[in-house]
A and B are shown apart, each in its own frame.
Chain A
Amino acid sequence: MTDSEEARSARHTQDVADRYWKRNLRLLVILLAVWWVVSYGAGILWVGALDEYTIPGTGFKLGFWFAQQGSIYVFVVLIFLYTRLMNKLDREFDVHED
């Protein structure tokens, strides 16, 4: 651990850490809600209702598409989005590395 990092780490008050953690949890809840909606929601629970619709120009029933394709695309996007937003949050609270 370098000196500057040690110093910065020590400067952190409990208050900052708590606020950082709360913001982190809020982000998690939002992203996991999306995760839940595209997989358990669109892919399983509402699959019957969504299958009434077909994605225009394709043969995909909407619910089936979410279950076998769409949810996976959304998962990938969610993780990269999380990475970006957390990096921003880290800088805002000055808890980022180096």
Chain B
Amino acid sequence: MDVQAWTFLIVGATFALYIGIAIWSRASTTGDFYIAGRGVHPVVNGMATGADWMSAASFISMAGLISFMGYDGAVYLMGWTGGYVLLALLLAPYLRKFGKFTVPDFVGDRYYSNSARIVAVLCAVFVSFTYVAGQMRGVGVVFSRFLEVEINIGVAIGMAIVFFYAVLGGMKGITYTQAAQYCVLIFAYLVPAIFISILLTDHLIPQIGFGASLGGEIGSQISGGESIKLMDKLNQLNTELGFAEYTSGSKSMLDVLCITGALMAGTAGLPHVIVRFYTVPKVRDARRSVGWALFFIALLYTTAPAVAAFARTNLIEAVSGASYASVEGQKSIPQWFKTWEDTGLLAWVDKNDDGKVQYVAGNALAGKPEFTEQRGAHGERVVSNPNPDSDNELYVDRDIIVLANPEIAQLPAWVIALVAAGGLAAALSTAAGLLLVVSTSISHDLLKRVFVPSITEKQELLAARVAAGVAVLIAGYFGINPPGFVAQVVAFAFGLACSSFFPAIILGIFSKKANREGVISGMLAGIIFTAAYIIYFKFMGGTPDQFWFGISPEGIGALGMLLNFVVALVVGRFTPPPPQEVQEMVEHIRVPVGAKAPTGMH
């Protein structure tokens, strides 16, 4: 069977599975729809959280980014896992004890203010839509590459699937589907990683192969029989080509600190992650559930840097100095090079006319490749925008690393198909979780809690379904017509979550005296400061030499968060303390005893 037949088979089978689960786990109450009736086992919830959290970006893009960033890639690895420690120790158990449905619920009730609630709703909806557009696009890319359907049809199929189980099953349907999706995506990630680890280092476990000597089928070719550690060889290759050493970075230490901080606090403040810990039966389960979530996430996150290093070594060895056309007795480029060139994710410009791929540091092109219809002297696709200032001839899109890894290592067709199914699982599971946050924010936080408190349970459930349906359509629209700035606004999502929600929730739990005036001014100060910095540098042409202390927009949320804390505490000192019943509520959420039984009612 060829790759495409395998892909149809595996993707079709996984989709049938997701739909089957959705029908089995339909939601009948708002409690089911918002928080799965609080009946989810902590391990299952951990898996679902893992799939919810690991998006198309984690699955498809992260290893590729690390591959090109070397040490600096650690900001993603530590930032996107360290946040779970904050979540487990500082947020999850208390929010579970609080026992409502959403993050705006907590902000609104704790700060006795509907304005605070509405600010929280707006942030939640903005953050979620930002994210979901990228997921839908990821679905389209996977479809177009592996199944050769139009990107738009791919997006439409993805929308239909998500629509089906998010609208029908709400949180209950999503949770059980996500648990299944986690299994698919982790299997799809680990299988090629293990194969490649064996080929390059003769070690079964990628995390160990990462630190081992080159060996195995491909590895011994690269080392030429000499005994050398993979990491040393990689540093050597990088240095020879003029790149920074793989194990040392090029970002400033302060910037690395700030980005890691912003990603950690942002992770802990993202509404679609926090809401997962409302779904378990007990406070005790909320703590345990975060542990399992991070365990399942760590399986992928500790494999990713290994994949990155393997792929980097493999890529340099395979293409550097290889001739594009196959010439007898000379190293020539592998077949996958041309396959990916056809998709436009890889490009080669023969700047020195020697017919060989010269891969050195620097940008080969001015931006993304713009292909003309012609073919060059060696049969390569001609690009109209080479960058004359650099000798580098090779453009590689970061996303290739994971998607092409199985081909680079010449793995069987079913492994390639599996990677396609895994990418889809990662994108769909995250999209569903985000859409649920949007629909809950509208039906519960805005309708039920602010504008139409008299709404009945049935009407609220209907409103939630309609909102989920509309949100799917909007997300699909952005997937088909992606705004050019999707990548840029991801910095926004984390910056906002970290400079608004995170301090507000922490203060709400750990300071009884934190009051409405303080926290609202803190949130506003944090958001405005962070948004202004990001907008200036991402959209208004600010240049890196204007960065404050060298802090990039990705890391500015960390300063926004500090500002939020300081403003909230200072304003809080000069304004009246919260009413007695709110202070009692804080006392109440600090001890586990007396958490409501899993009724899911208000």
Chain A contacts with B in 46-92, Cβ cutoff 8 A: 47, 51, 55, 58-61, 64-65, 67-69, 71-73, 75-76, 78-80, 82-83, 86-87, 90
Are A39 and B211 in touch, CB under 8 angstroms? Answer: no
A52 to B28, CA, bound (A): 60
Are A75 and B596 in touch, CB under 8 angstroms? Answer: no
B282: A residues at CB distance < 8 A: 97-98
A60, A83, A86, A90 — most chain B CB neighbours (10 Å): A83
A79 to B592, CA, bound (A): 17
Interface size class of A (residues with CB under 8 A): 35 or more
Nearest residue, chain B, Cβ from A61:
B247
Chain B contacts with A in 409-463, Cβ cutoff 8 A: none
Indicate if B587 sits at the interface (CB-CB under 8 A).
yes
A80: B residues at CB distance < 8 A: 288, 291
Contact of B74 among A12, A20, A67 (CB under 8 A): A67
Are B592 and A90 in touch, CB under 8 angstroms? Answer: yes
A9, A55, A72, A78 — most chain B CB neighbours (10 Å): A72
Are B90 and A72 in touch, CB under 8 angstroms? Answer: no
Contact of A28 among B90, B260, B305 (CB under 8 A): B90
The binding surface of chain B is classed by DSSP as helix
- In this complex, how many residues of chain B approach chain A with their Cβ under 8 Å: the count is 53
Are B211 and A1 in touch, CB under 8 angstroms? Answer: no
Indicate if B81 sits at the interface (CB-CB under 8 A).
yes
Are B291 and A69 in touch, CB under 8 angstroms? Answer: no
Min CB gap A53→B, angstroms: 13
Enumerate chain A interface residues (CB-CB to B < 8 A): 1, 5-6, 8-9, 12, 17, 20-21, 24, 28, 31-32, 35, 39-40, 43-45, 47, 51, 55, 58-61, 64-65, 67-69, 71-73, 75-76, 78-80, 82-83, 86-87, 90, 94-98
Give 27 pairs: A residue, B residue, CB < 8 Å, sorted on A: A1-B594, A6-B594, A21-B590, A28-B89, A35-B82, A40-B257, A44-B260, A58-B229, A59-B211, A64-B231, A67-B74, A67-B77, A68-B73, A69-B207, A71-B82, A72-B81, A72-B302, A76-B291, A79-B89, A79-B291, A82-B287, A83-B288, A90-B592, A90-B593, A94-B593, A97-B282, A97-B592
Top 4 closest pairs, chain A to chain B, by CB: A59-B229, A58-B211, A59-B231, A67-B74
